[in-house]
């Protein structure tokens, strides 16, 4: 069942989302060759706690950290550790915040130092895919419009779209109904967006195929063909005026 948030609840989520966006900006500044993913996680956790909030991901389904750090072919849910990111890598930072009883969730993918033009094109396309998906958010429209728009754009850019992972509803629970697909699926539910719904849109694009496998850490997911992957995410509320990005 898709929950409808009150105006007051959405304002609380917007507060949490603003905190989350600010923390993400601080983490982005730290992404440089030589830093370890564990160092990024430590800063993320400390900043979340400094706002009187809690990391949404820590201990969620056994995840042992606050921040997901997914490098190169790892798409999502990479566990932070001793890995030092290096020039030419790309890294997805995915962070959730639990604030005043509600979760918000966002992700960005960043280039580490100088990367190839094609790698940068992948990152920019994934970011653009998120913006295109958000533009489909409107009360009365089908959720399937989001995935359709994302997939159609990705095809024009010659990038793959991950199918086995998707966006999700969010609120008092980190993952709620509905699932927000990033592609067109035959027989997909024709659920309609309504004012007060809040969910995460998170396109994941690859330079290769869409198939996935477990990452080496045993928790995250990587591309089966080891091609690079980029991931962006925002928490969105449906309002009378259209989409409201709560993690802006």
Q: For residue 200, what are its two tokens?
A: 């995460």
Rg (CA), the chain: 17
Q: What percent of the chain has pLDDT over 70?
A: 99
pTM of the model: 0.97
CATH 3.90.230.10 fits 7-245, yes or no: yes
Collapsed DSSP state (helix, strand, coil) of residue 22: helix
What pLDDT does residue 18 have? 98
CA–CA gap between residue 244 and residue 242 (Å, rounded): 7
- The pLDDT confidence band at residue 190, using thresholds 50, 70 and 90, is confident
- The pLDDT confidence band at residue 185, using thresholds 50, 70 and 90, is confident
Average pLDDT over all residues of the chain: 97
DSSP state of 35: -
């Amino acid at each position: 069942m898709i929950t409808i948030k009150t105006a007051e609840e959405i304002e609380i989520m917007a507060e949490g989302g603003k905190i989350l966006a600010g923390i993400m900006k601080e983490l982005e500044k730290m992404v440089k060759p030589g830093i370890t993913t564990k160092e990024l996680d430590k800063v993320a956790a400390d900043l979340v706690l400094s706002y009187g909030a809690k990391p949404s991901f820590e201990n969620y389904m056994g995840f042992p950290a606050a921040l997901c750090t997914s490098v190169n072919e790892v798409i999502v849910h990479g566990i932070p550790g001793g890995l030092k990111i290096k020039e030419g890598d790309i890294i997805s930072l995915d962070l959730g915040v639990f604030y005043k009883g509600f979760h918000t969730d966002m992700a960005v993918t960043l280039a580490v130092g100088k990367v190839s033009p094609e790698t940068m094109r992948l990152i920019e396309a994934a970011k653009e895919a998120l913006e295109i998906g958000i533009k489909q958010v409107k009360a009365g429209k089908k959720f399937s419009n989001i995935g359709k728009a994302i997939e159609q754009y990705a095809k024009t850019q010659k990038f793959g779209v991950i199918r086995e992972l998707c966006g999700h509803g969010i609120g008092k629970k980190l993952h709620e109904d509905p699932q927000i697909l990033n592609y067109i699926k035959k027989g997909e539910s024709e659920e309609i967006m309504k004012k007060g719904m809040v969910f995460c849109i998170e396109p994941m694009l690859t330079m290769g195929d869409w198939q996935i496998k477990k990452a080496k850490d045993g928790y995250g997911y990587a591309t089966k063909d080891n091609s690079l992957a980029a991931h962006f995410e925002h928490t969105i509320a449906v309002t009378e005026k259209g989409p409201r990005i709560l993690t802006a």
